[in-house]
Amino acid sequence: MKLVFVMTLLLTIFISPITYSKTSVADEDGYRLWLKYDLISNKQQRESYSSSLANANINGHSDTINIIAQELEQAIPSLLGSKVSVTLNKSVQSDLLIEKTNKRLVSQYQIKSQIEQLGEEGFLIKTVKDKKGKRTLISANSDIGLLYGTYRFIQLLQTGQSINALNIIEQPKTQIRMLNHWDDLDRHTERGYAGESIWDWHKLPEIQSQRYTDYARANASIGINGTALNNVNANSLILTPAWIKKVKALADIFRPYGIKVYLSVKFSSPQQIGGLNTSDPLNNNVQKWWQNKAKEIYNVIPDFGGFLVKANSEGQPGPGDYDRTHAEGANMLAKALSPFGGNVIWRAFVYSHEDKTERSLQAYKEFVPLDGQFAENISIQVKNGPIDFQPREPFSPLFGAMPKTPLAMEFQITQEYLGFSTHLAYLAPLYEEVLDTDTLVKGQGSTVAKVIDGTLDNKALTVMAGVANIGTDRNWTGHIFAQSNWYAFGRLAWDHQLSSSDIANEWIKMTLTKEQKAVEVINKLMMGSREHIVNYMTPLGLHHLMATGHHYGPGPWVDDLSRADWNPVYYHRADEKGIGLDRTITGENGVAQYAKPWKEIFSDPSQTPENLLLWFHHLPWDYQMASGEILWDELVNHYYDGAAAVVEMDKQWKLLEEHITPSQFNQVSMALSVQVKEAKWWRDACVLYFQTFAKRPLPKGLSKPQKTLEHYRSLSFPNAPGQG
């Protein structure tokens, strides 16, 4: 109470105007992400905003309300360079009114129909008029909705949009929009390329870094409302009392920002930390153990989100160890969480070492027969493609194949297979490509997005998860542009209908520059970047050519791993006749897992989209491509085009220097020079290697690789970051 009082007092004091001598801004190391509130350089625009933002009043009493006040107090004077009075619970006639929906607002501003569309987290931003004039109203059914509306309103200012006649109604399309951190308890981050884990577990709960609050704020600003704190390859210690206290400390920080915490749990925890001699989900004591554990957690974290589970996959324990199904395992946990409103997010990324079935086929084989057997508070989290976060994969055949079960989307934000944090890869086009794909299971319009948002099969529990790329690096994500992937993930989880290009523009304007020409150039760089990586790493549907373990750099020659389908040679199948993996009926028959007409399309090389050709087909080196080239030439051209495009990106970036703050500019420039080198490395290593089978010259006009294949094969990187 005391704190609220002091805050109220502080906020009612007029904030003194900040004067700026020039419009250029101080250097920016990337810490502020897209929440930079630097002075808008266009004076006219500033004045126009200022004239309608001299005072703001927020009605309500909660930590979230206080955060809204703080955010406005910080944003408006900094962006506009003008005075603003931010008050709490004053009956003043304010330019900006932020208030939860109520009868008075509804009748005064006639917003009944709008309010009905908001749901629990949505918001309305509306220009309203009354006797005393015009003002902006932000309203919602919850304080969190008000916070989201406030961030959206500030975003309008940051991106230079008119606020004169607003009527924005938004409601998130996915219910749970969460990050999955693959962070270990010793701060190592599996597939993390931005320093250590941001959770300083050793010092928690007492020492609470400012970063935790800044993290929550950044997430809330893009609508992320959940975070699974620890690695899916989980350590059972996370469920011990000492660790639950640490988790509680984070949950308390995140709560006013609308973020719930989730934990990845190890299925064998009852044995590892509970003193039981089994973790069989049908065993009474095991069930009780989980029920008590849930009670213990909810006692201290009443809004705990639930469990994320990787079971019977890559050596992790699971119900299969007791001949129980994934449904039996998941249902046991669901029952423990359900009295408290918690959910189980059970991953479909399963493949067992023992099962001889090709890895990409196992998830479908395991899960589709279980459709309808999962409890209501379970969502099955499916990676976007059937293998593993490759630069390009077809959509997972699970989407659309389990109509009775809520399916969650799992995207990877961290760039395990797309150049770590030194390659510029804007991933929203990848996310968009998957979400917009039409599974055709119920005729046209049965997009993956509709499976995820629950509208295809009328599902209430909906989830989109992104494997986080956040670490202790000052700029959070290692690469300035990798911030855009965190941002874009949040925006698409909120609304999958946004376009990746529009999201890029928002992010550029808020993070890098508002100068229109520069925005256009950067937008182009971003929008092309993922395809360039596909080209110089895995064109035409090739996949999993990365080196072993760390996945850093090319390793198409690797053939000595214990399981056949861990080896790149398994996936490209290059031989003297041709290249590609036959996944049709004459080969692994992955096509059989797709609904018609995809099954037919993917079975026929002439119908298969060329960018997935070698995913589904083994084709001769002289196969005729649509371009008129033979397959070998086309493949090599893709490799060369990809590497050349990065040289061009580097050139384009260098021309932008005057528009970007020095630190951001230099960080990106340094990374681009690494990327230029590594793209050529990928190109040359792969082309030389495939040439040993194709036995054909490079297409005319292309320069020969400067080093030998032996050289590339001899490279090793024992200390590459993020290893599993």
From candidates 190, 328, 393, 633, binder to ligand BDP by CB under 6 A: 190
Q: Bin 238: left if φ > 0, else alpha if -120 < ψ < 50, else beta.
A: alpha
By the rule CB under 6 A, 310 interacts with ligand BDP = yes
CB-side neighbour CA atoms (13 Å) of 347: 33
* 367 versus 653: smaller Cβ distance to ligand BDP: 367
- Residue 67-106 contact track with ligand BDP, rule CB under 6 A, x = bound: ----------------------------------------
Sign (positive or negative) of CA dihedral 92, 97, 98, 103? positive
Question: Minimum CB separation from ligand BDP for residue 709, in Å?
Answer: 26
By the rule CB under 6 A, 563 interacts with ligand BDP = no
Q: Which residue is nearest to ligand BDP (CB)?
A: 724
- Whole-angstrom Cα distance, residue 476 to residue 479? 8
Quickly count: other Cβ atoms within 10 Å of residue 443's Cβ.
7
If DSSP codes are grouped into helix, strand and coil, which group holds residue 655? coil
- Whole-angstrom Cα distance, residue 66 to residue 87? 10
Quickly count: other Cβ atoms within 10 Å of residue 145's Cβ.
26
Question: Minimum CB separation from ligand BDP for residue 543, in Å?
Answer: 12
- Whole-angstrom Cα distance, residue 410 to residue 454? 15
Quickly count: other Cβ atoms within 10 Å of residue 105's Cβ.
20
Query: Catalytic amino acids?
Result: 314, 388, 416
Under rule CB under 6 A, which residues in 399-428 are in contact with ligand BDP?
416
By the rule CB under 6 A, 232 interacts with ligand BDP = yes
Per the CB < 8 A criterion, the answer to whether 197 and 188 are in contact is yes
Per the CB < 8 A criterion, the answer to whether 511 and 500 are in contact is no
Token pair for 110? 């006639």
* Cβ partners under 8 Å of residue 141, min gap 6: 100, 101, 115, 118, 119, 120, 122
Question: Minimum CB separation from ligand BDP for residue 352, in Å?
Answer: 13
From candidates 349, 476, 552, 615, binder to ligand BDP by CB under 6 A: 349
Name the residue among 181, 180, 189, 152 with its Cα closest to residue 167: 152
Question: Minimum CB separation from ligand BDP for residue 348, in Å?
Answer: 10
* 551 versus 683: smaller Cβ distance to ligand BDP: 551
Q: CA geometry: angle at 192 spanning 186 and 194, to 5°?
A: 100
- Whole-angstrom Cα distance, residue 615 to residue 601? 13
Expressed in angstroms, the distance from the first to the final Cα of the chain is 46
Question: Minimum CB separation from ligand BDP for residue 416, in Å?
Answer: 6
- Whole-angstrom Cα distance, residue 181 to residue 254? 15
Question: Minimum CB separation from ligand BDP for residue 467, in Å?
Answer: 7
Token pair for 431? 């996310």
By the rule CB under 6 A, 191 interacts with ligand BDP = yes
- Whole-angstrom Cα distance, residue 606 to residue 622? 14
From candidates 233, 472, 548, 669, binder to ligand BDP by CB under 6 A: 233
Token pair for 125? 């931003």
What CA dihedral angle connects 473, 661, 648 and 717, to 10 degrees?
Answer: -20
Amino acid (one-letter) located at 511? T
Question: Minimum CB separation from ligand BDP for residue 262, in Å?
Answer: 15
Bond before 597 cis per omega within 30 degrees: yes
* 525 versus 542: smaller Cβ distance to ligand BDP: 542
Bond before 205 cis per omega within 30 degrees: yes
Q: What is the DSSP letter of 275?
A: -
* 231 versus 422: smaller Cβ distance to ligand BDP: 231
- Residue 123-162 contact track with ligand BDP, rule CB under 6 A, x = bound: ----------------------------------------
Question: Minimum CB separation from ligand BDP for residue 570, in Å?
Answer: 16
* 136 versus 313: smaller Cβ distance to ligand BDP: 313
Chain position carrying tokens 């520069």:
518
Beta bridge partners of 100: 140
The number of residues that bind ligand BDP (CB under 6 A) is: 10
From candidates 73, 366, 388, 565, binder to ligand BDP by CB under 6 A: 388
Per the CB < 8 A criterion, the answer to whether 422 and 678 are in contact is yes
Name the residue among 376, 382, 379, 369 with its Cα closest to residue 410: 382
Name the residue among 511, 513, 556, 548 with its Cα closest to residue 686: 556
DSSP strand E in 47-189: where?
Answer: 55-59, 85-88, 96-100, 123-130, 133-140, 167-170, 176-180
Question: Minimum CB separation from ligand BDP for residue 427, in Å?
Answer: 15
From candidates 49, 254, 364, 389, binder to ligand BDP by CB under 6 A: 389
Helix (DSSP H) and strand (DSSP E) numbers for the chain: 23, 16
- Whole-angstrom Cα distance, residue 526 to residue 251? 34
* 544 versus 680: smaller Cβ distance to ligand BDP: 544
Question: Minimum CB separation from ligand BDP for residue 190, in Å?
Answer: 5
* 126 versus 551: smaller Cβ distance to ligand BDP: 551
Q: For residue 243, what is the enclosing H or E element?
A: helix 241-254
- Whole-angstrom Cα distance, residue 126 to residue 566? 54
- Angstrom distances, CA of residue 672 to CA of 28, 519, 653: 18, 18, 9
Per the CB < 8 A criterion, the answer to whether 595 and 403 are in contact is no
Question: Minimum CB separation from ligand BDP for residue 301, in Å?
Answer: 25
* 445 versus 724: smaller Cβ distance to ligand BDP: 724
By the rule CB under 6 A, 267 interacts with ligand BDP = no
Under rule CB under 6 A, which residues in 503-532 are in contact with ligand BDP?
none
* Cβ partners under 8 Å of residue 50, min gap 6: 80, 81, 82
Under the rule (CB under 6 A), what is the footprint of ligand BDP? Answer: 190-191, 232-233, 310, 349, 388-389, 416, 724
